[in-house]
Amino acid sequence: MRGDATLFMRDDQVEAAWSAVMPILDVWQATPPAEFPNYAAASWGPEAADALIARDGRRWTLPTVLEVPRGGNRA
């Protein structure tokens, strides 16, 4: 990557990109959605996700975790 300017945007391109995106970001920040389904980090997501796929008779398959006893032996 060193010395190959074709791998990067020029500064005028960056400015043009931000000038197109910033009005959208400004409106989103000024008017946050009333019922955005936020959820805690490390959780399995919002309940709205479960409801969404349940409408089609589906459900998420959650991974199972094998508990390893202290000392690291599984026997």
Give the CA angle between residues 31, 34, 38 to the nearest 5°. 105
- Predicted local distance difference test score (pLDDT) of residue 40: 86
Burial class of residue 57, CB neighbours in 10 A (0-12, 13-18, 19+): exposed
44, 62 contact by CB (below 8 A)? yes
- Predicted local distance difference test score (pLDDT) of residue 61: 87
Which amino acid is it at 44? Answer: W
- Predicted local distance difference test score (pLDDT) of residue 25: 95
Can you tell me the distance from the alpha carbon of 45 to that of 63, in angstroms, rounded to the nearest whole number? 14
CB atoms within 10 A of CB 46: 14
- Predicted local distance difference test score (pLDDT) of residue 53: 94
pLDDT tens series, the chain, 75 aa: 788 888 999 999 999 999 999 999 999 999 988 888 888 888 888 888 899 999 999 998 887 776 666 665 555
- Predicted local distance difference test score (pLDDT) of residue 71: 65
